[in-house]
Every structure is written in structure tokens, then in C-alpha cells.
Amino acid sequence: MKLTPQEKATLDLFLPGTISKDGFLGDDSRHVHDIVQMDQRELTRLGIDQKDIADRMSHFIEAGKKGLETTVDLGDFTVQVQWQRGLILCPFGEKRRVPKLIAIVCNKKREQCIRYSQLNEHMIREHGFFEGSGSTFRLNPAELVQILEIQSSS
Ligand SMILES: [Zn+2]
């Protein structure tokens, strides 16, 4: 596929060393749109939409913020939020910046934890993007749904 200069500039933002040291694609050679489309199919299979996932992720971020970097016990879950004192740009190229914040949520019953950033939450909500496979912050939709016990709101 031939890219326009603007598309090319946008894609560069996903590569290592522009916005993030490690980039957003890992060793995934697929086009960003194809990655989004594949994960969209997975969401359809799971019967969950990206807003349900983002809402749940943001619920834990908000709960974790109250702990000021210590672990917050929520009963069935614990969450710890680490704020890296800064903002990060979204690679999709809007002007807004997202706080550089990481949440680690553990599901006590399942004995499983998952780590994600506020940028992950933003990209899932606004762009349906879970990052490329092998990327440091790649999230697997099915794992998110399982560990965070996400239910469909519709
Ligand atoms: Zn964005």
C-alpha cells in the first residue's frame, strides 16, 4: 500500500524512539489499521466493546490514584498506580496529552495481574488500539476481559 506523506508521518509516531522509547508496534509488521481490525474481531467474539474495556480500566486507575503509589485493596482486586510525573502524546496524532501513568491490577481469585498505562486506556477507548504484538504495553483483549472481569454494558 502506498502511503501519503501525512500517513507516513503519522506511522512514524508508532515506531521506537519518537513518542516512546520502545514504540507501539513491537515486532508486529501489520499496518496499524489491520491490528485494530483484528482486535475488533476479537472484541466481537467476546461480546464486549472497547468502551466497556476502557471504562473498567479507568475505574481501576481512579481507584488506584487514591493510594498515592501504594497498593489499594478493593476486596477482590488490588491496584497500584505509578505516576511518572509527565505527559505523553498519543501516536494517533491528536494534540492532547495523556498523563504518564501505569496501573497494576491484580485479581485475587484468579491470582493474575495485568499492567497497563493511561495511554493504553485512551488508545483503546478512542482508537480501538491495543498495540502491536510483542510491544511492551501490548494488551490482549481476552486477558483484559478475564483478569479485570469486564462485563458488557449493552
Ligand atoms: Zn489518541
| Buried-state track 7-26, b at ≥16 Cβ within 10 A, e below 16 | eeeeeebbeeeebbeebbbb
How many Å lie between the centroid of ligand 1 and the Cα of residue 111? 32
How many Å lie between the centroid of ligand 1 and the Cα of residue 33? 14
**Cell triple for residue 108?**
485475587
How many Å lie between the centroid of ligand 1 and the Cα of residue 90? 5
Instruction: Output phi, psi for 55, to 5 deg.
Output: -60, -45
How many Å lie between the centroid of ligand 1 and the Cα of residue 92? 5
Q: What residue spans define the domains of the chain?
A: 5-147
| Separation between Cα atoms, residue 52 and residue 15, nearest integer Å | 28
How many Å lie between the centroid of ligand 1 and the Cα of residue 46? 24
**Which DSSP string corresponds to 7-57?**
HHHHHHTTSTTSSSSS-S-TT--S-HHHHHHHHHHHHHHHT--HHHHHHHH
How many Å lie between the centroid of ligand 1 and the Cα of residue 127? 7
**Farthest-apart Cα atoms in the chain, separation:** 52
| Range 76-92 average pLDDT | 93
| Separation between Cα atoms, residue 96 and residue 78, nearest integer Å | 30
Q: Is the pLDDT of residue 8 over 90?
A: no
Q: Is the pLDDT of residue 69 over 90?
A: no
Tens-place pLDDT, residues 116-154 = 999 999 999 999 999 999 999 999 999 999 999 998 887
Whole-prediction pTM value? 0.92
Q: What does the DSSP 8-state code read for residue 136?
A: T
Neighbours of 71 (CB within 10 A): 13
Instruction: Output phi, psi for 114, to 5 deg.
Output: -140, 145
pLDDT bucket at 47, cuts 50 / 70 / 90: very high
| Range 60-83 average pLDDT | 95
Q: Is the pLDDT of residue 1 over 60?
A: no
How many Å lie between the centroid of ligand 1 and the Cα of residue 108? 32
Residue 11 is predicted with a pLDDT of 83
Residue 2 is predicted with a pLDDT of 67
| Separation between Cα atoms, residue 75 and residue 125, nearest integer Å | 26
